[in-house]
Amino acid sequence: MISADRLTKRFGDHTVVDSVTFEVEKGEILGFLGPNAAGKTTTMKMLTCYFPPTDGTARIAGFDVVEESLKVRRMIGFLPENVPLYPEMTVREYLEFAAAAKSVPHADRRQAVTQALDRCNLGEVESQLIGTISRGFRQRVGLGQAIINQPPVLILDEPTVGLDPAQIRDIRELIKELGRTSTVILSTHILPEVSLTCNRVVILHKGRIREVDTPENLTAKLQTVNTVRLQVRGPHQEIQEALGQVQGVQDVTRLEEPGSEGAIFRVQAPRDLEVRGELSRLIVQKGWDLLELHSEGISLEEIFLNVVQREVETNQGGEAA
């Protein structure tokens, strides 16, 4: 549905996006993950035909973003970062404007607006001025205008930035729901966002793609240690020492979590060594109470830091050579 081939954008001597290549299948939710200034927004602006790439090509639903810009723009719904809207319009008026501007046939506009209001749960604020509604509702209005023409492709730039946790959860659910009918690209620098919403992740850093894979595969690929979390009731110092004696255990850290029952430990062992059985047997043999034991996957935050760290090391190695 979306393909980018060596997509590059330069502003003067500064390369903001550097030869980015990826594909997104129909029905997929792809996450662009990267810190600020990674090139996420610039890539999205090229895909939405805001400006053309300096080099490379991109196609959406088979249409070239430069040569067939108007056709591409009919196929996409875009939510820019910070959701720019017209505060003097009511929510309904704004969606009616978006429907007209996106060439929704006159006869279908009322239904398109009603559907967008329903899907984005905007019914209670439809008659309110946009300038008076909350940030969460503004975000929903932004999504409403993006889906008003039922585009097969949605491009969402930082859709949850600036929202409180409840609003983030609501918008995340909404994006998943929208992902059932559209192909979605979303960008974020909030790591849990991607693992909770996306089928695949593109890690961008300094304008280049560092990794492309599913969150699960990235975890498997980049996980260097096997981490187990234990909650045990008993003599803390003794437990920590005993855990450290188990064969293969590299490190035992006691975690401070006020209010929790017993003591919490994080045990690290080599990636391919299963230590959970050994740990549980040890605790039972010693007569301590095992309250909780589970294996912790590597977080996307760690994956991201690994990727960036690996690049820094590669660069340093190259410079030293």
Partner 1 sequence: MIAVFNRELKAYFSSILAWVLVSIYLLIVGFIVAFSIEDFADMSMAAMQGMRQANAMEQLVPPLLTTMGFLLLFFLPLLTMRLFAEERRSGTLDLLLTYPLTEAQILAGKFMAAMTVVGMMLAFTLSGFIMLGRLTPLDWPVLGIGYLGLLLLSAAFLAFGMWASSLTSSQLVAAVVTYGGLLMLWILSGVDRSGALKERFGDLSALAHLTNLTKGVLDTQDLVYFLALAALFLFLTARVLESRKWRG
Residues that bind partner 1 (CB under 8 A): 9-12, 45, 48-52, 54, 70, 73-74, 76, 78, 80, 82, 84-86, 88-89, 93, 97-98, 100-103, 145
How near is the Cβ of 232 to partner 1 at its closest, in Å? 53
Question: Do residues 42 and 81 touch, judged by C-beta distance below 8 A?
Answer: no
DSSP three-state, residue 267: strand
DSSP three-state, residue 200: strand
How near is the Cβ of 97 to partner 1 at its closest, in Å? 5
Q: Which is nearer to partner 1, 9 or 119 (CB)?
A: 9
Q: Which is nearer to partner 1, 79 or 300 (CB)?
A: 79
Q: Which is nearer to partner 1, 42 or 226 (CB)?
A: 42
* 3-state secondary structure string across 247-261: CCCCEEEEECCCCCC
The phi, psi pair for 87, rounded to 5°, reads -65, -20
How near is the Cβ of 146 to partner 1 at its closest, in Å? 9
Q: Which is nearer to partner 1, 7 or 85 (CB)?
A: 85
How near is the Cβ of 201 to partner 1 at its closest, in Å? 24
Q: Which is nearer to partner 1, 100 or 246 (CB)?
A: 100
DSSP three-state, residue 157: strand
What is the C-alpha to C-alpha distance for residues 171 and 173, in angstroms, rounded to an integer?
A: 5
Which of 307, 19, 314 has the alpha carbon at shortest distance from 191?
A: 307
Q: Which is nearer to partner 1, 50 or 266 (CB)?
A: 50
How near is the Cβ of 306 to partner 1 at its closest, in Å? 33
How near is the Cβ of 234 to partner 1 at its closest, in Å? 58
Alpha helix stretches (DSSP H) within 49-186: 69-75, 91-101, 106-119, 135-147, 165-178
Write down the residue that tokens 């340093």 correspond to. 316
